[in-house]
Amino acid sequence: MDTPWRKAISPQRRLILTLRYLATGASQLHIGFSFRVGHTTVGMIIRECCSVLWECLVPIVLRPPTAEDWLQIADDFQKFWQCSNCIGAIDGKHIRIKAPPNSGTEFYNYKGFFSIVLLAICDAHYRFVLVDIGDSGRHSDGGIFSNSRVGKKFDKGSLSIPAPNSLAGSDINVPYYFAADDAFPLKTGIVKPYPGRHLSEDKQIFNYRLSRGRRVVENAFGILAVRWQVFYKMMNCDPEMAQCIVQACVVLHNFLQSPRQVGSHIYGDQFDGNGNTVNGNWRQTIPSTVNMDSLGHIGSNFYSRYAGFYRDELKKYFLKDGAVAWQWSR
């Protein structure tokens, strides 16, 4: 509020200051000099504005998916990435933060630095569908997905995921699934590649086809970091504020990645008619080192008979009814 000595900082100026910080990754001290605002005031404004951005934009760009939303996502994955029944790509990142005072090893991960975890599921257009932000880095050696809010809802079957359905152009019936990498456990509803290097041709083709759908989440993280360069270096703040910053960047990413934003598609990878990868703009602009590290192995090597059966059924589908012309040369 205004005082007899000075006027209050307007909401517009607060938003501009926060966006400048998120987009450039400049220090709060530098932002303070640029806007002629005290250092502590800058930190307070960023924290408050990021919280407001999250609260206001979540109902618009990150609302919980309904059964109809999952079906639309599945249609998009089939149309753009030829992954039938896939309803999202899942991955996670460690976000490096300054060592919190008196926290011991709570946020210290197995890679040797302090971090919070960003776990995300993305749709076929590089938009975040579900996220879990703020888990401490020490849980990186196991159970991140199972202990997350997203993982608990998945295990309870409360994500409104539709019942199993036949794959496109086939009578093979499998559950809708998330495409994951080797770090995640193989479950009914989570499909990851076959492990090993010397694989048979059919398994190599399956891994290639699955990677086409899984790479969208890699693209989403890359686009997120390029647009919001606060991820380029360690966040010099407490875990609570780091969580607010990541939350704001996630909802702003979804807003900018929406179909109505012209040119939003050029940031992500594309494929031509022969299955060749056309790298997105984010790969050309992102630095070699980014403050976002991949998760380690977060699941058991043991899996249920049903999970293995459904992966084998997908493999059969990719080799026959769901085959694409260029997969044999990959």
Same domain, 137 and 15: no
Is 5 inside any structural domain? no
Contacts of 72 (CB under 8 A, 6+ apart): none
Average pLDDT of span 267-290: 62
Please report which confidence band the pLDDT of residue 49 belongs to, taking 50, 70 and 90 as the band edges. very high
Residues in the chain, total:
330
| pLDDT of 195 strictly over 60 | yes
Is 4 inside any structural domain? no
Same domain, 16 and 165: no
Tell me which residue range forms the domain holding 180.
63-329
Same domain, 52 and 28: yes
The pLDDT of residue 276 is: 64
Report how far apart, in Å, the C-alpha atoms of 73 and of each of 76, 174, 225, 266, 277 are: 5, 16, 24, 20, 21
Give the separation between CA 257 and CA 123, rounded to whole angstroms. Answer: 11
Please report which confidence band the pLDDT of residue 141 belongs to, taking 50, 70 and 90 as the band edges. very low
User: How many domains are there within the chain?
Assistant: 2
Same domain, 129 and 22: no
Same domain, 50 and 73: no
Is 100 inside any structural domain? yes
Average pLDDT of span 5-33: 90
pLDDT digits (tens, 9 = 90+) for 152-173: 899 899 999 999 999 988 888 9
Is 123 inside any structural domain? yes
Same domain, 40 and 70: no
Token pair of 49 as six digits: 């504005």
Same domain, 93 and 220: yes
Average pLDDT of span 38-57: 94
pLDDT digits (tens, 9 = 90+) for 87-134: 999 999 999 999 988 888 888 888 888 999 999 999 999 999 999 998
Top pLDDT among 17 and 110 is at 17
Please, how many CA atoms are within 13 Å of residue 12, restricted to the half-sphere of its CB? Answer: 0
pTM: 0.88
Is 266 inside any structural domain? yes
Same domain, 153 and 285: yes
Same domain, 24 and 159: no
Coil, helix or strand at residue 122? strand
Is 125 inside any structural domain? yes
Same domain, 20 and 90: no
Q: Please, are residues 231 and 95 in contact by the beta-carbon 8 Å criterion? A: yes
- When mean pLDDT is compared across 50-54, 56-60, 109-113, 203-207, the lowest value belongs to 109-113
